[in-house]
Amino acid sequence: MAMQTNLSNASASSVDPAEIAKFSKLSDEWWDPHGKMAPLHKINPLRLTYIRDAACRKFERNAKSLGCLSGLRVLDIGCGAGLLCEPLTRLGAQVIGIDPSATNISAAKLHADKGHLSIDYRCTTVEDMDVRERFDIVLAMEVVEHVTDVGAFLKRCAAMLKPGGLMVVSTLNRNWKSFALAIVGAEYVLRWLPRGTHEWSKFVTPAELERYLGDLNLTVTEQAGVVYNPLADKWSVSSDMDVNYMVIAEEV
CA distance linking residue 54 with residue 57, whole number of Å? 5
Is 47 among the annotated ligand-binding positions? yes
Is 129 among the annotated ligand-binding positions? no
SS3 of residue 59 by DSSP: coil
| DSSP secondary structure letter of residue 42 | H
Is 78 among the annotated ligand-binding positions? yes
CA distance linking residue 3 with residue 191, whole number of Å? 28
CA distance linking residue 137 with residue 51, whole number of Å? 9
* Cα dihedral 33, 37, 38, 39 sign: negative
**What SS3 string covers 100-150?**
CCHHHHHHHHHHHHHCCCCCEEECCCHHHCCCCCCEEEEEEECCHHHECCH
Chain centre distance of CA 106: 18
Is 141 among the annotated ligand-binding positions? yes
User: Which residues make up each annotated binding site?
Assistant: 47, 78, 99, 141
User: Which residues make up each annotated binding site for S-adenosyl-L-methionine?
Assistant: 47, 78, 99, 141
